[in-house]
Amino acid sequence: MARATSWPRLRATKRERLAQPRKRHLTLAASIFIASCRGTVTTDFTVDAPADVTLQQVVVPLVAVEFLRNDGNIEVFELDDARIDLLTFVGAVPVRLLTNERLREGTYTGVRLLFDEADTDGAYVIDGLGAQRALTITNGEHAPFSYTVRDDRRSNEELTLTLDLRLSLSRNERNEYALQPALRSVRTEEAGDLQGLVSAPCIDDATAVGRAAVYVFEGADVVPDDRDGQGIEPYATAPVALDAAGIAYTVRFLPAGTYTIALACNGFEEDPLTDDDLDFRFTATVEIRAGEMTRRDIES
């Protein structure tokens, strides 16, 4: 796996919040916390491409990384000066958000990125024509994250977070955009990658490359479907693109396990807020192993 680059403008400060009620307060003095806690977390971040490959910018105010405990408490690490263009992270080396930040004792079950939903000036999209479009953000659900911190044991967890823009970004008939982050997490040392060449009638010329996409679903023999808030939902996606080897795809940072992959010839039509009629032409079951690149070509 590629080593994450550091970004000094992302400087984390930490506070704890309660999940309920909505008004939250610090529950423990920082001096006590530092003395008692032996668990730390390091967090890297990357982005998967949007359905519309012509977009020039997707600018968002990223303000924090949030960890959810099984007792309902929430640990929040705030990020300073973190207005970012998500497209700069597509296919890039992951950027480091947190480095050895201390977590309180407890069992953690989820993680998510927090964006400033009220900062309408700091969120916008530059479309393929160079026009600036409004972007509304709704913070998403926690991605699964399993980590137990105990006072009698020193531990450090390193994880990579991936925001899939194809499954997160939608557009309405007024050319206004909405972002509801679809995030996945994986222990960095256990992550595997998936790649292969693609040969299908629907992408037999250069004009079709970028319109097709590979969808990844958890489990074997899954009947593929788009992201639409019902039934089976995609776990990850990747565009079909031209590289040195030919027409190919790459899916990065998948937890080890069994997956179903499918080719969507019209993947560019994905809108996570609607039920899209995607043209799936191919499915196969693949096994992802920790720390390895799995090769699976697609022929249909």
What SS3 string covers 16-54?
Answer: EEECCCCCCCCCCCHHHHHHHCCEEEEEEEEEECCCCCC
Task: Specify the pLDDT at position 195.
Answer: 96
Residue closest to 145 by CA, chosen among 11, 47, 43, 33: 43
Q: Which whole number is the average pLDDT over 182-210?
A: 87
Determine the Cα–Cα distance for residues 240 and 256; give it in Å rounded to an integer.
Answer: 22
The C-alpha R_g of the chain, in whole angstroms, comes to: 20
Which amino acid is present at 251? V
Q: Which whole number is the average pLDDT over 222-232?
A: 86
**pLDDT tier at 244 (50, 70, 90 boundaries)?**
confident
Residue 14 has pLDDT above 70, yes or no: no
Length of the chain: 300
Q: Which residue has the higher pLDDT, 273 or 193?
A: 193
Write out pLDDT tens, residues 25-76.
222 233 334 444 479 999 999 999 999 999 999 999 999 999 999 999 999 9
Task: Specify the pLDDT at position 18.
Answer: 39
Residue 88 has pLDDT above 50, yes or no: yes
The CATH architecture annotation of domain 190-300 reads Sandwich (2.60)
* Residue 81 near residue 11 (C-beta atoms within 8 A): yes
Backbone angles phi, psi at 208, to 5 degrees: -90, -20
Task: Specify the pLDDT at position 275.
Answer: 86
- pTM (two decimals): 0.86
Residue 151 has pLDDT above 80, yes or no: no
The two tokens of residue 10 are 């992302």
Which SS3 state, helix, strand or coil, does residue 173 take? coil
Residues of the chain within CATH 2.60.40.1120 domain(s) are 190-300
Task: Specify the pLDDT at position 203.
Answer: 77
Give residues with Cβ within 8 angstroms of 207, minimum separation 6: none
Determine the Cα–Cα distance for residues 89 and 92; give it in Å rounded to an integer.
Answer: 5
Residue closest to 228 by CA, chosen among 135, 283, 166, 162: 166
Task: Specify the pLDDT at position 1.
Answer: 41
